Amino acid sequence: MSPKKVGKQEQIIHSQGREIISNVAAFMKKEAEQGITIPLKNVRQRTLAATRVSQSTYRRVVQESEDIENIPSCSFTSPRKKRLRKSQKIGNITLTQIKDIKQIVYDFYIVEKRRPTLKWSKSGEYHDDMNHHNFMTWAENQLIPNLLPNSVLVLDVLMCL
């Protein structure tokens, strides 16, 4: 009889997962050689010894596991780094103002069905005339002065093929 396949194939396991697998394997090897050192009924203590994670990490993972069992479409998540972003200025425009500009441009594009420009070039496209300087001039002199208080503007790069 051939051995039963266990686990997912072609699953990418990052460094932390590899380290935990190595820790568990070393723990099991030690128990195979020396016998069971932590009673089998003490699941938490055995898990902590085998994985070498902190008690708080263990509690969080167990809680998340219980949540996943209760919600079928849910799965484990990877924690993300929380980065505080400072308001940066580009010229005299803050990132918030740039976002406001993007929204006006997007709204114009949706309503007018064309891209807003400073002027049309000979080819009928704005690509030849649009650059950082022209955009900033338009934003500072035309767009921002016409924004209503507490307006929100989102800018996005429109890709042209």
Mean of the per-residue pLDDT values for the chain? 76
Query: Which tens digit of pLDDT belongs to each residue from 96-144?
Result: 877 887 887 777 777 777 666 655 445 555 555 667 787 788 788 888 8
pLDDT reading at 158 higher than 70: no
Q: Which of 115, 101, 96, 95 lies closest to 153, judged by CA?
A: 101
pTM: 0.43
Q: Which of 15-19, 30-34, 73-77, 143-147: highest mean pLDDT?
A: 30-34
* The pLDDT of residue 34: 92
Q: Where are the domains of the chain?
A: 15-70, 89-146
**38-91 residue pLDDT tens:** 998 999 999 999 999 999 888 988 888 887 777 766 677 776 666 655 555 556
Concatenated DSSP letters for 78-131? Answer: -----------EETTEEHHHHHHHHHHHHHHHHHHSS---SS--TTS-STTT--
